[in-house]
Amino acid sequence: MGEPRARGRFGEYGGRYAPESLVEACREVDEAFRGAWADPGFRVALARLLAVHAGRPTPLTPAHRLSEALGVRLYLKREDLTHTGSHKINNVLGQALLATRMGRRRLIAETGAGQHGVATATAAALLGLEATVFMGERDIERQALNVFRMRMLGAEVVPVTTGSRTLKDATSEAMRHWVGVTGDSHYCVGSVVGPDPYPWMVREFQRVIGDEARGQCAAELRTGVPDYVVACVGGGSNAAGTFAGFADTPARLVGVEAEGGAGAARGRLGVLHGCRSLFLQDDDGQITEAHSIAAGLDYPGVGPEHAHLRDLGRARYVAVTDDEAVGAAVRLARTEGIVPALESAHALAWVIRAAGGGDLPAGSTVLMTLSGRGDKDVSTLKELL
């Protein structure tokens, strides 16, 4: 998993399908990121922020009791233990630091359930930047607590009233807004989606998950490398970051999507938010709404690199239902004392299903990224259980 080819292509996916003014802004982000990523000073500054503010490195936890029950050896990469409770902080600290390097004074972000918005507001407060977060009106109603959190952190939350008033519309609105303010604002995209350079830049900021896990597996596992590497996939950033650490190993890579948002498993070629990739579409080619109990998996498509990895057969993409994810969340809580985010519970649901169905041979070693903690989901779970 190296750099994309010319013009941000991963195979036939990716690219920069945006209005001229944004193409120029993306070019500036690309140039700044390349400079920063090649600069040891930037790397050291980011590593320090990740350590002293976000709590990295995160542990690798053997899931002893669950492993015994499943007949495999399961290890959890604990992104749930980061500050703000999910892997999103890795990317946001990287982009916020890049924004200051570019002389920008404000971050723009889109958010669905509010996780990326909260992370962006957090990073902005830490580095003395302003933050403007676009959020669908329906999501604002459903996620009042995260809206309050963002405002408490000093961010402006802008309600989006167009379309279905959810994440897809919030993203479109954030991009529209960026057109007018590219000189002083950086658009902080929340996953490995959007126009080039975002898909690979966000993956590079998330590869800290995979790089750490690789070293931890080398120390912990007799074989050094797990047989399977598993992560949930919304846009695909925690999976891309995890996979990046194991790209050059024989580990089998598995991305787990929500049944109602399975862009990689069931999407068709399309263009959305500046990027050519796989999206859920109706017969007329209109991109449809995704539906998942896990808000972070509620995106109708998948990042271009995942589409490419799927075509290459390097990674495989599977889908699990809401019910399977809820069952997996309860099981992890009761066997390991960890309440996972419902997004992460999708990855675990596949591990449970595959161990039971013979898809995961007995005795396999499995590294699974636990992308976030379940605190945000307890009221959803309380309604169901």
Ligand X SMILES: *Cc1c(COP(=O)(O)O)cnc(C)c1O
Q: Which residues bind ligand X (CB under 6 A)?
A: 86, 88, 115, 191, 232-238, 296-297, 341, 343-344, 371-372
β-sheet with 228-232: strand ranges across:
60-62, 73-78, 365-370, 228-232, 252-258, 315-320
Calpha distance 183→198 (Å, rounded): 18
The CB-side HSE value for 5 (13 A sphere, CA atoms) comes to 6
Alpha-carbon 106 to chain mean position: 22
Give the shortest CB-349-to-ligand X separation in angstroms.
13
The CB-side HSE value for 229 (13 A sphere, CA atoms) comes to 28
- Mark whether 110 is an active-site residue: yes
DSSP three-state, residue 162: coil
Please identify, using beta-carbon distances, which residue of 55 and 69 lies nearer to ligand X.
55
Give the shortest CB-241-to-ligand X separation in angstroms.
8
Strand 13-14 with 9-10, pairing: antiparallel
Give the shortest CB-280-to-ligand X separation in angstroms.
15
Please identify, using beta-carbon distances, which residue of 157 and 297 lies nearer to ligand X.
297
CB 58 within 8 A of CB 81: yes
Calpha distance 267→259 (Å, rounded): 12
Q: Which residues contact 327 (CB under 8 A, 6 or more apart)?
A: 349, 352
Please identify, using beta-carbon distances, which residue of 260 and 372 lies nearer to ligand X.
372
| Catalytic hit among 79, 110, 204, 212 | 110
CB 238 within 8 A of CB 231: yes
Please identify, using beta-carbon distances, which residue of 157 and 364 lies nearer to ligand X.
157
Structure token pair of residue 362: 């007995």
Structure token pair of residue 236: 């695909």
Please identify, using beta-carbon distances, which residue of 270 and 374 lies nearer to ligand X.
374
Please identify, using beta-carbon distances, which residue of 178 and 205 lies nearer to ligand X.
205
Nearest residue to the partner ligand X, using Cβ = 372
β-sheet with 130-136: strand ranges across:
156-160, 130-136, 106-111, 185-187
CA separation (Å) from 143 to 86, 223, 340?
A: 17, 44, 18
DSSP three-state, residue 119: helix
| Catalytic hit among 67, 86, 88, 292 | 88
CB 138 within 8 A of CB 104: no
CA separation (Å) from 287 to 134, 137, 164, 190, 358?
A: 20, 20, 12, 20, 35
Give the shortest CB-215-to-ligand X separation in angstroms.
21
Place of tokens 């998948």: 302
Give the shortest CB-180-to-ligand X separation in angstroms.
27
Please identify, using beta-carbon distances, which residue of 217 and 240 lies nearer to ligand X.
240
Tell me the chain's radius of gyration from C-alpha atoms: 19
Please identify every residue annotated as catalytic.
88, 110, 371
